[in-house]
Structure 1
Amino acid sequence: MAKAENKTKATSVSPESFVDTVEHDVRRADAKVLLDLFADVTQLVPRMWGPSIIGYGRYHYKYESGREGEFMMTGFSPRKANQVIYIMPGYTDHSAILDRIGKYKIGKSCLYINKLADIDLDVLRELIIAGFEDMKSRYPDWKPE
């Protein structure tokens, strides 16, 4: 039986062009801030992953099941309901930072924020740095593209 391919892959769409198409004014303005913040923290050029995720860096993973693929190291997505911040591989070691960030909801590797005005951007920067550094230590063969 063939292995299922990952649905979310890097594309050639410009992240800046994608952000310009975000309909919600606050979400679009916040996404422009996040483009700068993530670029500053990672020192990487963003890439689109699938139709709506802006990612930085790339790593190869392989599960015990044999499934493998590539995904971004960190990133975000300006969704209709909120901004989604992807802190990979999750928040197990970041609770002290999250305690100081402000208003948010959380998923396994996702931080959901209504608007950047609800959080402390300096603390978000700390969280992005912590997650990115964690990923670099877990995946030393990661790529900056």
Structure 2
Amino acid sequence: MLVNVSYNKPELREKINAEVGKPFTLLERIKMNGVGSSKLFITSTSIEIHNLLILDKYINTCNIEMRPDGIIITFRSILETYALIIPYYKLRLYKGKAEEYSIYRDHFFIKVKANEKAVHLFMKKILDYKAKHWSSSSFLE
């Protein structure tokens, strides 16, 4: 789900929380050594996201936030902030070339540079969390 999150809309926040869960508490964030990525440089995107990013001339960057049931990828275009909401059951994460990761949800995708060790470690953290917490509890419900 690709949404504009520039404005404080309670119904949109509830929809996002239903999709990927509420944000981790401060104690959980400390135990996990953080739940957000550093600035990631976008190399390629699906057409819907590309059409938003070409509206300005800035360098295209994004951030990833982990949630209990998925991730949120946020990026800016002009003066608006957009989020790609990806629950773990729809998340497909691939390591392409040595310097790039591809993140997919249905027909949306974002490819980001991975030129720092911190990026590799964060992507591994996402995959480890998905494997350990999400997949085992999803079959019990």
TM over 0.5: no
Q: As a proportion of its length, which structure holds more strand?
A: 2
**TM-score, with structure 1 as normaliser:** 0.30
